[in-house]
Amino acid sequence: MLRICTTLFALILLGLVELILLAQDDPPVPTLISPTLAPVIAADAPTDFLHAESAIADVAASGIFRVGVLYNEPPYSEFTFQGELRGFDVDLLRKIAAEWGSELDLVQVTRLNALDSLNSGQVHALASAILRYRDRDTEVEFSQTYLQGEQALLARADSPFQARAELLDQPIGFVIGTRAEKATAIWSARTGSALNLQPNLTLDRAVAAVLQGEISAVIAEKQALRRVSADFADSVRILDDPVSIEPRAFAVRRQDAPLRDALNKTIQRLTIEGELDVLFREYFPDESYNIETVAIWSGIGDEALPAQFANEIAYPSTYALPRIRNSGRLKVGGILNAAPGSTSGEGRLDNLNRALAAELARRWGVALEIVSVEAEPAASLLSSGQVDLVVGMKPDWNLANEMDFSMPYLLHGDRLMVRSSSGIRGFGDLRGRFVGILIGDDTARDRAQAWADSINATVRYIQTTESDAALTLLDYNNANAIYADNLALLAHLDANPDALRLTERWYSRGYYAIGLPYNDIDLRLLVDYTIQEMIQDDTLYRLSAGLIVSDALPAFDLTPGSNSFAGFNLSDPDAASGSAEQS
């Protein structure tokens, strides 16, 4: 009996130690086994583990996809009292494994041993255990974001505070050891303000302090706030203005580009098939699903299988950052020779690309060198080091094994332009009418016809030039609508703001991004972080103003963290220090 009691006491003590050390946002739930604690790797310790073979090779050979997950992170991954492992991440992984024709093996990890489990090969990837903050990008590689979480603020329902900026000098509660500490540190650093933070041991206690008026708000993961306040939801409210966006993505070993690409392509395929929408509505019924969370690349095809991706990991022969730093020059390709001040879609895009390249060089403190080599493919220019990056690229799966792409910086796609007074809302209102398509866009008629066929509508077509698109509608009266990429229509909308409009629907969504050398991860991170800083201080909006309409901003994927990376300060050098907040 004494031995049994001693064993029971030891298990209880281990559970208490894990709770204190891990400091989860949520109360623990039953686990199959007691997690094994692992030593924490120092932040300045080397974390680059170079492997010759991608983990996707083992998935293909064994038919098993092993992923490390937390067992107490609802609604993303949790082991329930009914003995089931469920959650958004869990169900998404099951769908990915089904797409691959693989068996899914979900391995329990903790926040302390997750990274070691990944780098030692015990698991191929991680879900829920490591969220994407910029400091994590030095340890692992992340897939495309598939869901945006938040570190949010909860206040009393009768609180006068509406936005986080109003709470800078107010007492704010947080739970010790949770991601709220990291989020508030970033918030404080970016505002230059010392926040009045009140530590708590549990989220229940912090929320109680809000209700009792001891503090003005509490910061925690949004879904955790919803759960802990479910019984008195009418007494509190979650502010619309989050402290930090938390991109949720799968973590793989750093520079395991083949597995990263396999996950990205599958995530995009599941998005196209509507599977992510279904999961989102199941697990987050009170939230609004944003169809743009996952950017879909062109050339995606009909399937994503492990066999489509390389078994070996290809590393760059040379890395771009040392070259840029040592030479003091940024070599950029992809710049066209459009006439200055051109208002055509191509001319406006060229102006944006030039300005974007100049802004990157300015923020990095290097000179810009535009390399005009249009005949040679971008991937060849990048791999040979003739250029450091190529602007104006459309992310394309046909190029994914030759080059990488930055996050998108511009959204474009097919729209219908109609007379403002016409009442036309879409192809349903164009039955028996004429649709104009632009000369030179060889597939426009097929794209338009596919939409007409989808609702059994018969439409007729007429060709026009890009420059005559507005005249075709307004003066010649030869068409009832123009179907084209919105970038080709912007000049006409600007010139005829009262006479022309776009219908609400996007019939396709495409993106412009920056082409980068394949698997040069630090350059890609530097470019992405700089674009994100330009988003947060509105520079990108200003530069691209001539290429967007009110509803044409991409759902930008922001990674929270410091505005410095690899020795570069990415903030606008002309802006006041600390003026930009993390969105």
- 66-76 average pLDDT score: 96
Phi, psi for 390 (deg, rounded to 5): -125, 120
Residues 6 or more apart whose CB falls under 8 angstroms from that of 504 comprise: 425, 551
Task: Give the C-alpha separation, 469 to 492, whole Å.
Answer: 7
Give the largest Cα separation in the chain, rounded. 96
Task: List % helix, strand, coil for the chain (3-state, nearest 5).
Answer: 35, 20, 45
Residues 6 or more apart whose CB falls under 8 angstroms from that of 257 comprise: 54, 141, 313, 314, 404, 518, 519
Look at 231 and 286; give whichever has higher pLDDT: 231
The CA distances from residue 292 to 145, 148, 268, 295, 525, in Å, are: 11, 11, 11, 6, 21
Give CA angle at 148 (248, 515), nearest 5°: 75
pLDDT at 100: 98
Q: Is the pLDDT of residue 575 over 90?
A: no
Q: Is the pLDDT of residue 19 over 70?
A: no
Contact criterion met (CB below 8 Å) for 83 and 29? no
Pick from 22-26, 278-282, 314-318, 345-349: least confident: 22-26
pLDDT at 482: 98
Pick from 179-193, 295-309, 328-342, 403-417: least confident: 328-342
Q: Which of 45-49, 401-405, 552-556 has the highest mean pLDDT?
A: 401-405
- How many Cβ atoms are within 10 Å of 478's Cβ, its own excluded? 14
Task: Give the C-alpha separation, 235 to 207, whole Å.
Answer: 11
State whether residue 400 is helix, strand or coil. coil
Q: Do domains 16-43+51-146+249-308 and 320-411+510-567 have the same CATH topology?
A: yes
The H-or-E segment that residue 64 falls in is strand 64-69
- 183-188 average pLDDT score: 92
- 15-38 average pLDDT score: 41
pLDDT band at 26 (very low <50, low <70, confident <90, very high): very low
Report strand pairing: 171-175 vs 196-200: parallel
Domain ranges of the chain: 16-43+51-146+249-308, 149-242, 320-411+510-567, 414-502
pLDDT band at 341 (very low <50, low <70, confident <90, very high): low
Report strand pairing: 147-156 vs 236-238: antiparallel
pLDDT band at 280 (very low <50, low <70, confident <90, very high): very high
The listed CATH number (3.30.70.270, 3.20.20.70, 3.10.180.10, 3.40.190.10) that belongs to domain 320-411+510-567: 3.40.190.10
pLDDT at 31: 39
pLDDT band at 350 (very low <50, low <70, confident <90, very high): very high
pLDDT at 546: 87
Beta strands in 457-545 (DSSP E): 460-464, 481-485, 500-502, 510-517
Task: Give the C-alpha separation, 512 to 487, whole Å.
Answer: 12
Sign of CA dihedral 339, 341, 342, 345: positive
Bridge partners, 66 (sequence order): 105
Query: Which two three-digit tokens encode residue 561?
Result: 């963290």
The listed CATH number (3.40.190.10, 3.40.50.300, 3.60.10.10, 3.40.640.10) that belongs to domain 16-43+51-146+249-308: 3.40.190.10
Report strand pairing: 460-464 vs 410-412: unpaired
Tens of pLDDT, residues 370-422? 998 765 788 899 999 999 999 999 999 999 999 999 999 999 999 999 999 99
pLDDT at 469: 96
Look at 532 and 341; give whichever has higher pLDDT: 532
Phi, psi for 64 (deg, rounded to 5): -125, 130
pLDDT at 554: 72
Tens of pLDDT, residues 92-106? 999 999 999 999 999
Beta strands in 131-227 (DSSP E): 140-142, 147-156, 171-175, 196-200, 217-221
The dotted CATH code for 414-502 is 3.40.190.10
Top-level class of domain 149-242: alpha beta
Q: 192-198 contacts: CB < 8 A, separation 24 or more?
A: 192/577, 192/578, 192/579, 193/168, 193/169, 195/168, 196/169, 196/170, 196/171, 196/172, 197/171, 197/172, 197/173, 198/171, 198/172, 198/173, 198/174
